[in-house]
Structure 1
Amino acid sequence: MTLLPRSHLPLLRASGAAMLLALAACGDKNGTPAEPAPKYAAEIRRTAYGIPHIKADDDGGLGYGIGYAYAQDNVCLMAERIVTANGERAKYFGPEARGITEDAVPNLASDFYYRLINEPEAVANAWQQQPAPMRALVEGYVAGYNQYLDERGKGGLPDACKNAPWVRSMSSADMMKIIRRYAVEGGGAHLIEELVAAAPPGAAAPAPPSPAAAPRRGGASPIDPQYWQEQHARFGSNGVALGKDATENGQGLLLANPHNFWQGDFRFYQLHLTIPGKLDTMGASLGGMPMVSIGFNKDVAWTHTNNTSSHFTVHQLQLDPRDPTSYMVDGKSQPMTRKRVEVEVRQPDGSLATRSHDFYQTDVGVVMHVSDQLEWNRKVAYTLLDPSMGNHRMLEQWRAMNSARSVNELRDGIDRIVGLPWVGTIAADKEGKTMYMDVTVVPNVPLAKEKACVPEAFRDAAAGGVLVLDGSTSACRPDNDPAAPQSGIFAGASLPRLERDDFVQNSNDSAWMTNPAAPLTGFPSIVSLDAQQQSGRTRVGIAQLQARLAGTDGLPGRRISMPQLQGLLFSNRVYYAGQIMDDVLRACDGERQARAANGAMVDLAPACAKLRAWDRTANLETNIGFGYFASVWDQLYGSSLFWAVPFNVADPISTPRGLRVDDPAGVSALRTALANAVLDMEANGWGLNSTWGEIQHTERNGKRIPIHGGLYNYGIYNAIVSKPAAGGGREVSEGGSYVQTVMFDRNGPQAQAVLSYSQSVDPASPHYADQTGLFSSKTWHTLPFTEAQIAADATTKRISIRHKAKQAQ
């Protein structure tokens, strides 16, 4: 017997392994060729409410599982998202039609814009800048989505896209286009019609935004600051993180309450992602994003709120008197670059025609046109510079957050990557640390440059964070910071953040009042404004937190439990009712009748009785008093009756408040508003015995599900937007979406959540309305996170998927 030296054993083992692989490749003992190892493989376990728990050995497999699972629930939504990002809506749906969300622009304008920003060179550049793991994730997602589509076939898809010509397999380029679309949501995507409306003086141009939607300027400023403030972000959110000085067990506790559209591309999707030993994170993602956007892992939980930073700059160009398509910079004429974009458009007879549009590009962005505000004439033109088009770091950013092991690690990753496009971050960890970071892609315009470069006519707007810069000098371009990951934006470390052991919060106001005990001040206007009146949601959130921690809310103790934090959201307290209702009820005293604006005499007694009985909430059982209050508020807000106690920078949570009703004229105006409110309720068809739950709803498969909550501007933390519906009532269009609370204890994260509109857009799916019922009843679902919790879920269904080698990539 010959013995080999120990040093030869590794070589022998390696040779043996190679031989086994070679034999396996040859086939089994009967000579049947062995099936090649799959390029991608994943396990998908679905627990209650259809939540997929996706496990894979690597990033490619994880993406593969995500793409497949998402297609199972929302294949039609993803197919249409691909159409939009490729600028093909007019080809399939006609030029004038719009998407299903209320802010959607005509298809033709949408197509021109997305063809512009998603030109092949830009998409290829975005792909080249993705780290290798992110490329694998995207390629896997594409393979998973395509495999599902291949298995079902067009004829096996849900009715919304069954056999539709616009459904096709996707590519990695499609995914990059979708990600780029998300990136510009805080900038250019808000101003599509304004960009498409721009044309040289005397040239034919598409019609600008309709007069009904167009802003009207007021005062000395040539632009309307309120209009431009609304271009910063479409959505709202609330977020609260509680630290060791505020929670019952001294560990972190988080509330996530993002507000998004209930239909369309920006719906959240719940999922749990695991690569053993590398990643284990759960929460929700924006549809189509192969990563958790808002969620938690075993060490840290986080959420996002849309911030008030401006993610673009406007530049006033001084034009060359000889040519309105050339502009002067440092005394020299520079030509604009004309970029022609062509799209196919479906005609009424079904045929296709090609339409083109010329965009004019400069070194400070694309020329735009806003009627009565920023117009292109022979002297000046205005451009939109959107640095988010250079942000290719979103996937990398969320991947770093998904795997963070503490608030500190989360902070460092955000500072390094600066990949969040338009959302600030609120986080808590198991050690009881909390943090708010307002670190997003923001043009680098420090205060000194703002003062030097904003023309006098636009300084009022600059005070509101909207910057129109002098485009005639290169000195007024955004600065470049070598510490930033791309040119023209602030470095992460220079942007607002606050770390606390009690609490941080944000409800879409600036970073200033993150915690009133430590105001964040002194930042450039484009980043964060201080000494500004706060919204009702900010005020009610902080007021309730302060009362709980002070022990003045009537509950025992001075610490906050998870049920109490959930109650802060679902109390549906109407904050502004507390500020003005005593004055409103004063107007109910005296004569029974009041004259409405149309001259009719109205009996106020029934309405006043309902207002007195109203509990000042927007719950399902709330009486019609809420409707009367809402009508009065809508009529009076901003009028001479507001406010009796004005905003006081030294008391920003309690001011402003009260109505100016100390004189007969004020009381008379308020009584007229009450009379108008009575007529409004009658016109709506809402009877005196109506409840809010009978009025506000969402309809699913012919069934009305009542929904609590109400509009942002009434100061309701649980913000819900609804629109008049056929047959009376109001149908929900946006608001609370993925609602999550996460508490850390000695057993790890204890998470409860509800997805208000449910996982799937397919009416035939069992997960089309199941969580909507939970939301209606304020029921929280405990999320199974550990292997034991997943195994204990009696509804768990498991599938293993393998990528089919025959499928082309």
Structure 2
Amino acid sequence: MKPNLLFTFIIVSFLTYSCTSQEKTKTQIAWDTWGVPHITADTVEELFYAQGWAQMHNHANLILKLYGGARGKGAEYWGQEQFGNDRLVHTLGFDQLADDWEKNQDPELKIIYTSFINGMNAYATLHPEAIDEKNKVVLPLTTKDVNMHSMYVIFTRFIAGNDLGHIQQWPDMGSNAYAIAPSRSASGNAMLVQNPHLPWWQEFLFFESHLNLKGKNMYGATLVGFPGIAIGFNKNLGWTHTNNTIDNADTYELNLKGKGYLLDGKQKAFETSSKTIKIKLKDGKMIDEEIPILKTVHGPVVNKTENKVLALRMVGLDKPNMLLQWWRMINSNTFNEFESALKMAQIPFWNVMYADKTGDIFYLFNGLVPKRTENAWAYWDRIIPGGKSADIWSEVHQYADLPKVKNPVNGWLQNANDPPWTSTIPMSLNPNDFPGYMSPQSMSFRPQRSARMLIEDESITFDELVDYKLSTHLEFADRILDDLFIAIDASDSELAKRAKIVLQNWDRTADADSKGMLLFYSWAQKFNVWNDTNYKEKWNIDKPNTTPDGIADPDRAVQLLEKTVRELETKFGSLDIAWGEYYRINYNGKNLPANGADGSMGIFRVAWPGGRNDDHMFVGGGDSWVGVIEFGDTVKAKVLLSYGNATQKDSPHYGDQLELFSKKELRDAWFTKAEVKSNTKRIEVMTDNGFREKK
């Protein structure tokens, strides 16, 4: 080859390689018609930079509010009403804990956090118009914000939510989960149902995204402000979480003596410090409020009276890599890899339900369970009196100790916030094989309905699984109506007999057009479904999915029905009002008929009430993220993020999926390259300074 031709060949080859290489590594966000970002990147840094950018695009003001509150500076930024939350953050020591976590976190997680925060800050810098003036004070964001926000949510809303009195605000917060084995699947493929039930606001909102790292597709959702995917799937496997019946926080009531408290009958001094909280007044002026912080050997003091204090002890404070474990889970390709991620034991809460392409299904009672001295659940499920050092635990059970089931003979696994023992029916886990404090023994009507739908179907299709997920049939109605009708027939109540006609004609569902649901629901609220003494036959672990049964006091049941009839006829003039006329979705200006109800009714489609007026009741939470996935040669998935994937006030995706929720429909998850391309609304390409829209 002549020299000049050789030189030309080299230059052309170099330019061709450079262009190809540049094209290959170009990170982009393809936004689909539901506001879901499909992010393609070749490096972890650019992937999470893009996810941070995308979260800010959809939730900028919400993220700033959440991060500002998690810093313990809400009162300084937004006023006196945030003071209680700030005091909690500082009392629990999250500020110092976040510094400790940053020092000890895995280098890979530090890269993820740094990239995620850089992407969020870049969006805020380039799009100041998207941010309300009152929220700009939170900027710039830092990696410490991610740590403080994640610990705030996980510790105060989940691990210690009950101990801090927060769960009472969201009494039906929970989840459903199914894993179907090939032996029970009509297609011969394993299937999975993902279905958390959380409030439809603030720190409980999910963010949906599709991540493609070097050609590996990962899809799912995480809580707003968290990087990565916490409930998700790839082409080989998927998992979901449900709140488990785990007790991994304890509140201790300690008697005061002198300037200290009693421990084993002897006075012990508090570890004392203080924190100054700035408070912004309505006129814009700042004042300082100093709060005393007391700490016992049990943990920080969260309440104090004249003679006693309450101290809180929580697991997980020494687990700084929680979000890294989720990243390892979504990157797994086999069950062994997935289980290795679980054995990191960084995630202190939540059951895990799993299914994969090879046909494996798996359930784990996941979390950090303290090793305790007293064996009984009831001993720890309370405010623990006195100051015995023997009650202070320090170690937790290892992965090997936790209840788990893989590939059960019945071909399915379920969890609807019931204890692990009823993940299969018949039960394959024996509670006597585990410490008594591991989990209680119970199975309420929602998990009973959950199990019943699977028990009655020997060959489950994908479409049937979708129908089961969306089912509003009431297990409690099936259990109790026959006994209620007998009680009505034995009475001379004309009001009750009129009600019986409506209830006999009712389809026993909570669909929007169901007539009789309002009557039954109103009666059931008075009857008190949760009270075991209301039943002739109490719940029995030997018959976990068919008890309780029978009405212990038929006369009382009829009297409550009479009272319900009078109330409904006075208010509505009728007993057969359609459920959706009364129960409504009222979210971001949308007003739609609702379906579902709180899970106490034995409904799998949970939509629990969050408010009401004289004429209507409104959905406040329930089905949040929904995913139904089949792991065949290609992944088949239907999903829904009930309230939409954005909260920015000008976003078209703020509540845009509620129409589907109202109609009991899911949508396709666009997972493959072809699906994403055909449903892309616009594309943003990464530059040296954020992202720009591709023309």
| TM-score normalised according to structure 1 size | 0.77
Instruction: Find the counterpart in structure 1 of residue 7 from structure 2.
Output: none
Q: Deviations over 1:490-523 (max 9, x none)?
A: 2222111111251111111111111133024232
Contact map agreement 2:119 2:690 (CA 8 A) in 1: no
Shift of 1:284: 0.8
User: Is the contact between residue 312 and residue 442 of structure 1 (CA under 8 Å) also seen in structure 2?
Assistant: no
The one-letter code matched in structure 2 to 1:179 is S
Inter-partner Cα distance in structure 2 for 1:431 and 1:584: 48
**Alignment-derived partner of residue 760 in structure 1:** 646
5 Å matches for 1:234-383?
235-276=173-214, 279-315=216-252, 317=254, 321=257, 323-328=258-263, 333-369=267-303, 377=307, 381-383=309-311
CA contact (8 A) 2:65 2:135 kept: no
The equivalent of 1:707 in structure 2 is 594
Whether 2:665 is the aligned partner of 1:731: answer no
Alignment match, 2:6? none
Match of 2:536 among 632, 644, 651: 644
Aligned residue runs from structure 1 range 379-390, under 5 A: 381-390=309-318
Change (3 A) 1:171 1:118: farther
Partner residue, 1:519: 429
Determine the C-alpha separation between the residues in 2 that align with 1:461 and 1:608.
Answer: 40
How many angstroms apart in 2 are the aligned matches of 1:78 and 1:774?
A: 26
The structure-2 alpha-carbon separation of the partners of 1:658 and 1:366, relative to structure 1 and needing over 3 Å to count, comes to: same
- CA distances 1:352-377 after superposition (whole Å, capped 9, x unpaired): 2111221211222112448xxxx672
Q: Show the counterpart of 2:349.
A: 422
Structure 1 residue 110 corresponds to structure 2 residue 85: yes
| Cα shift at 1:382 | 4.0
Looking at structure 2, the residues matched to 86 and 677 of structure 1 have their Cα atoms a distance apart, in angstroms, of 47
Distance 1:584 1:74, change over 3 A: same
Deviations 1:763-793 (A, max 9, x none): 4322122211112112221111121222232
Structure 2 residue 116 is the aligned partner of structure 1 residue 141: yes
Matches within 5 A, 1:791-806: 791-793=677-679, 795-804=680-689
Alignment of 1:398-409 (within 5 A): 398-409=326-337
Q: Contact 1:236/1:258 (CA < 8 Å) preserved in 2?
A: yes
| 1:49 partner SS | coil
Whole-Å separation in 1 of the counterparts to 2:507 and 2:551:
20
Map of 1:56 onto structure 2: 41
Partners of 1:288 and 1:749 in 2: CA distance: 28
Partner Cα separation in structure 2 for residue 386 and residue 124 of structure 1: 18
Q: Max radius of gyration: which structure?
A: 1
Q: Equivalents in 1 of 2:647, 2:207: separation in Å?
A: 11
Secondary structure at the counterpart of residue 576 of structure 1: helix
CA distance in 1, matches of 2:491, 2:94: 68
1:651-730 aligned at under 5 Å gives the runs: 651-660=543-552, 666-682=553-569, 685=572, 687-700=574-587, 702-726=589-613, 728-730=615-617
For the 8 Å contact 1:130–1:393, the answer to whether it is kept is: yes
For 2:445 and 2:575, the matched residues in 1 are separated by: 27
Q: CA deviation at 1:189?
A: 4.9
- What is aligned with 1:490? 397
SS at match of 1:751: strand
In 2, the alpha carbon distance for the partners of 1:618 and 1:233 equals 19
- Say if 1:645 and 1:273 are closer, same or farther in 2 by CA, change over 3 A: same
Secondary structure of the residue that 1:432 maps to in structure 2?
Answer: coil
Q: Distance in 2 between matches of 1:740 and 1:157?
A: 30
Residue aligned with 2:245, SS = coil
Q: Distance in 2 between matches of 1:686 and 1:57?
A: 64
Q: Is the 8 A contact 1:42 1:61 kept in 2?
A: yes
Question: Are the equivalent residues in 2 in contact too, given 1:53–1:272 (CA < 8 A)?
Answer: yes
CA–CA distance in 1 between the matches of 2:196 and 2:531? 31
Name which of structure 1's ranges 784-793 and 297-306 shifts more when overlaid on structure 2.
Answer: 784-793
Residue 187 of structure 1 pairs with residue 162 of structure 2? no
Instruction: Give 1:723 deviation, angstroms.
Output: 3.7
Distance 2:508 2:119 in 1: 49
Give identity over the alignment, percent. Answer: 25
The number of residues matched between the two structures is: 672
Specify whether residues 190 and 698 from structure 1 end up closer, same or farther in structure 2 by C-alpha distance, changes over 3 A only: same
Distance 1:235 1:802, change over 3 A: farther
Q: Quick check: 2:512–2:593 contact (8 Å CA) kept in 1?
A: yes
3-state SS, counterpart of residue 133 of structure 1: helix
- Mark the runs of 5 or more structure 2 residues left unpaired by the alignment: 4-9
Q: Is the 8 A contact 1:186 1:231 kept in 2?
A: no
Distance 2:407 2:253 in 1: 42
Instruction: Work out the CA distance in 2 between the residues paired with 1:476 and 1:289.
Output: 34
- Separation in 2 of the partners of 1:707 and 1:111? 36
What is the aligned partner in structure 1 of residue 471 from structure 2? 571
Q: Say what the alpha-carbon RMSD is for the aligned residues.
A: 3.2
Aligned AA (2:374): E
Q: 1:779 aligns with which of 665, 671, 676?
A: 665
Counterpart in the other structure of 1:468: 384
Matches within 5 A, 1:195-210: none
Which of the two has greater helix per residue? 2
Q: Name structure 1 gaps, 5 residues minimum.
A: 4-15, 25-36, 97-106, 195-228, 452-458, 480-487, 549-557, 595-602, 661-665
Q: Which letter does structure 1 place at the counterpart of 2:326? A: W
Per the alignment, do residues 324 and 41 of structure 1 end up closer, same or farther by CA in structure 2, a change over 3 Å counting? farther
| TM-aligned CA distance change 1:804 to 1:443, over 3 Å | same
Q: Distance in 2 between matches of 1:630 and 1:588?
A: 17
Match of 1:628 in 2: 519
Q: 2:503 aligns with which of 611, 617, 635?
A: 611
1:450 paired residue among 356, 360, 374: 374
Specify the code of the residue in structure 1 equivalent to 2:667.
Answer: H
CA displacement at 1:231 relative to structure 2: 10
Q: Are the equivalent residues in 2 in contact too, given 1:187–1:231 (CA < 8 A)? A: no
Mapped to 2, the partners of 1:805 and 1:307 lie a distance apart of 40
Deviation at residue 647 of structure 1 after TM alignment: 2.1
Aligned in 2, Cα 1:314/1:117: closer, same or farther, shift over 3 Å? closer
Q: Is the 8 A contact 2:270 2:296 kept in 1?
A: yes
Between the aligned partners of 1:148 and 1:798, the Cα distance in structure 2 is: 15
